Chain A
């Protein structure tokens, strides 16, 4: 069931469509996303853009720049830092925020742990599930009425059913059975004080759309998205990078392989894939023929059950 790489519209097309001619799928997706971000800019009082340094948030920031043009981006960049991130990604986050003159706020899980609002069962436990707590605390601290995220509906079943403007109550909860209908491009942004919107401007993009767009727009990314050599061990069918947080277990063999990350997050729950794709073109080609979903290959946290994401979203997760 392999896919020929030409089975995709304009796979390696770097050019914008000419006005008056062909309006490509990337043109249509981009225009929709800019429209959504402008609605946030116009109707929300104080919006944050969740910026982790990952590719989806880099694309969201790029779109925000286009939405605000010719102004600087008016959203606060917010990173909920597990402090278990790859240093290259953190360096990238800081550099990009400065480059585009954006206000960056970093709030750490460590602070929530010190406050006692997060109590971990063990110190080496994956930290992603606890991000919701620190996120909700940051929303309260800055009184954000909207938080923009890079979530996509193709990532996961629960996301496929979530609105672009996803209403959250004061506990940050998503109620899948009681979502606001979303018709045409008429987004209802209204919230009461203490409630907020999660906004997903790239809801309708797929992983491949994201990479095609990164190629076309020449969007900068952290180095770890590209092929590099890394020490790993093989565990339950996934590659576990050897780091101080994820040391090899007794009996495991360390291998040096050429790999890259398809998603970037908390070290203990993000695994690389074997790949020699060193350029964005290579990655677009590889993504077009991949046989494993993005999360299936690389996320150690969603594999526990089919409904893992749905439950986490109900608890306030992005």
Chain B
């Protein structure tokens, strides 16, 4: 595999839900907490806390906490783009951008995730390319599960460790 191929990855999941509902799940704090995070706190560019049901906007910053982990495991980042309907971009692992595109295909809604600009040194490739893509695969499956059946697959117990569900 060429080095450039390790600098990004693309994942797609099909959902039996509307584009609007899928977008809400990515672009509101409450939506993100339904399938992804224990706590999604956002502030606008002026530093004011965002309401949980507000649509996020470019320049908003976040602090994310995970189920199964204490508050010391906190991810911070920024919303790079939010078009209000089908595209949402934010910084994630190592500050790399994650682009979410939502569109229709064969009668279903597709959520496409692209994590790009990953450093291609061997350590990063092994840890972040593999680790991040593995993590997103689980969470995209959980998004599908929540939107289609309501079953939350996340591990919510801190005492239960070393599982793919957290």
Are A and B interaction partners? no
Residues of A within 8 A of B (CB): none
